[in-house]
Amino acid sequence: MAMDVKKAYASVGMPPATYLLKYAVPLVITGVAVSLIFTFLVPDLATGVFGALIWAIPLFFLILAVIYPYLVAEGRKQQIDRNIHFFITHMGVLATSNIPRSEIMRILGEKKEYGALAEETRKIYALVDAWNMSLAEACRFISKRCPSDIFSDFLDRFAYAMESGEELGKFLKNEQIVVMDDYSNLYEGHLYEVESMKEMFNSLMMSVVFIVIFAILMPVITGIDAIVLMGGALFLVLFIEVAFVYFTKAKAPTDPMWHQAKVETALNLRIKRTLPVSLAACLVVLILGLNFTPFPVAVILAMGLTPLLYTGFGVAQEEEKLKRRDDNFGAFIRSLGASTSARGGNVKEVLRTLRYHDFGPLTQNIQDLYQRLNLRVDDEQAWEYFAADTGSMLIEKFTRMFVEGVKAGGKPDEIGRIISDNFVRILGLRKSRYQTASSFRGVLYGLMAGMSFALFVGVAIVGLLEKIFTNLNLDSGTPFASFFNFSTDLNLIAFLVIAMLLVHSVVSSLMIRIADGGNYFRSYVDLVGLFWVAAIVSWGAQKMLTGLLSFG
C-alpha cells in the first residue's frame, strides 16, 4: 500500500508547499546548474551517452526530492513498528499505577530508546500541554500523520476508548493482545522474506557458479587472458554477496539478542580475552602450514582460520546461556510480581526467597541482584547491573519497565503478569527465527559444498588439458592449433577460486548471524565450518577427477 502524502510530508516536519520551496526547487536548480557547468566547461563530454548522463542529473535530483519524504517516512515507520510491542507493554505497566493518562504520555515521550515512537508521543503531549487539546483529539491528530499503520490504529482506538469512558487498564489489557498480534504478523512476515532471500541467494549463486566455470574454461577455447576473466568473475561474486548481505539485513526482523550495555559484561570480557589469542594463533598456524606441511593451499588456509573457533565457541556458549536466561525470565518476573504484591511491595524480601529457586543460569544473576540491593547503595543501578550481567536485550528492557512501574506505585502482580505474557510471546517469535536461521545454515553449507566441487572440477579439467597438450608441437597453420597450444597460470586461477570461496564463507556466516540476530563474533564458528567444507570438497574433487581420468 502506497504511503499517504500527508503522512510522508509530516515525517519531514513541513507541508508539501514549504518543502517544495525550501528543498525540492533549490535541489533541482542545483542539478540544472551542475549540468550547465559541465556543458560549458567540458563540451567534449556533453555529447552522446555522456551528454545524456549529464542532463540526467537534474532529473535524478528531481526524483530524489520527490521520494525523500517517503524514504524518511518509511524509516520512521520501521522504527515505530519494531518498538511498538515494548511501548504498549510499558504503557500497560504504567497504567497500573493510576497516574493521569497525559502523564503516561509524557513519561513515554522521554524514552529515547523508542526513537520515532517517542517523538510521536511527545507531539501528543505537546498538543495537550501547550495547545490545550484533549488527549483524544491529540491522538486523532497525530494518528492522521503517523507513518505507522499499527500505531495509527492504536491511537484511534485509544481516542475512542477515552471518549467512551472505558477504563484505561481494561483497554490496555485488550490492546496488549491486539498490538502483539499485529507485531507477530509483522515479525512472521519478515521471517518469510528471509526465507525468500534464502531461496533467491541459493538460485543466484548456482547461476554465478556456471559463470565462473565459464570464465575458467574460456581461455582454453578462445585464448582470452584467464586472469582478466577470473578477476571479473571475482568482482561479480563480491558484488552479489555484499548486495545480499545488505538486503538480508534490511528484511530480517530488527530484534537483537544482545543489549548494548555500558557496563562491562561477561561477553565483552570473554571477547577481549580470547580474540587476541585466536588471531595470534591463526597467524602462527598459517605460517607453519605454509612452510612445513604438504597440504593444498585451501586446506592450509582452513587450518589457519581454525583458531577463531576459540573465540567463536566462547561467544556461542555465552549466547546459549543468554537464551536459557530468557527462557526463565518470564517465570521469574511473574513470581517476583505476585510475591511482591502479597508482601506489600517489598522486592528485596521477595528476592531473599526467590534466589534459592532454580531459574537455570538466571539463578546466579538473581543472587547477585539480591546482594547488590542488600548493600543499599543504589537500587536502580543494582537492577541495571542485573540486566547487563544477563546480556539480554529483552531482559534489560522489561526489567526497566518493572522497576519503573513498581516505583511509580503500580501493582506488582499485574505488572509481572503483563511483562511475563508479552515476554513469552516475543520468545515464541524468536524461536521461529532460530528455526529459520537453522534452515538457512543448512542451505548455505550445502551450497558451499556444491560450489566448491563444481569450481575445482573446472580447475582440474583445465589442468589436465594443459598437461595432456603440453607436449604437442603443432604448426600455427594446423587446424585447432590455438586450441591445443594454450597456456595459463593454473596456480593463480586456483588461488582466485579459493579467494572467492573465502569471501563466500565470510558472507554466508554473516548472513546466518543476521538471520538469527546473534552476536557477530559467533559467525567465526560458521566461517571456519564453511571454509573447511570448501577445502575438503575441493581437495576431494581434484583427487577424484585425477584418479578417474588416470584410470580411464
What's the confidence (pLDDT) of residue 470? Answer: 61
What's the confidence (pLDDT) of residue 546? Answer: 67
Which parts of the chain have pLDDT scores under 50? 1-2, 551-552
Q: What are phi and psi of 392, to 5 degrees?
A: -95, 130
**Contact call for residues 376 and 354 (beta carbons, < 8 A):** no
The C-alpha atoms of residue 403 and residue 17 are separated, in whole angstroms, by: 46
Q: Is 361 helix (H, G, I), strand (E, B) or coil?
A: coil
Tell me how many degrees the CA angle 305-311-313 measures, rounded to the nearest 5.
100
DSSP line for 460-524: HHHHHHHHHHTT----TTSTTHHHHS----HHHHHHHHHHHHHHHHHHHHHHHHHHHT--GGGHH
Q: What is the DSSP letter of 392?
A: B
How do residues 60-87 score in pLDDT, each as one tens digit?
888 888 888 888 888 899 999 989 999 9
What's the confidence (pLDDT) of residue 376? Answer: 75
The C-alpha atoms of residue 226 and residue 241 are separated, in whole angstroms, by: 22
DSSP line for 208-257: HHHHHHHHHHHHHHH---HHHHHHHHHHHHHHHHHHHHHHHHHHS----S
Cell 563444481 found at: 454
Per the structure block, which three cell numbers stand in for 419? Answer: 511483562
Q: What is the DSSP letter of 20?
A: I
Q: How far is CA 95 from CA 361, 410, 418, 473, 526, in A?
A: 32, 7, 11, 91, 45
Strands (E), 83-149: none
Q: Percent helix, strand, coil in the chain (nearest 5)?
A: 80, 0, 20
What's the confidence (pLDDT) of residue 185? Answer: 92
**Contact call for residues 64 and 27 (beta carbons, < 8 A):** yes
C-alpha torsion angle, residues 117, 118, 119, 124 (rounded to 10): 100
Cβ-based burial of 443 (10 A; exposed 0-12, middle 13-18, buried ≥19): middle
* Category of 358 on φ-ψ map: left (φ > 0), alpha (ψ -120 to 50) or beta: beta
What's the confidence (pLDDT) of residue 1? Answer: 41
The tally of CA atoms less than 13 A away on the side-chain side of residue 83 is 23
Residue 217, C-beta contacts closer than 8 angstroms, at least 6 positions apart: 458, 461, 462
Our measurement of the distance from residue 471's CA atom to the centroid of its chain's CA atoms, rounded to an integer in Å, reads 55
What's the confidence (pLDDT) of residue 551? Answer: 44
* CA-wise closest residue to 103 among 115, 114, 91: 91
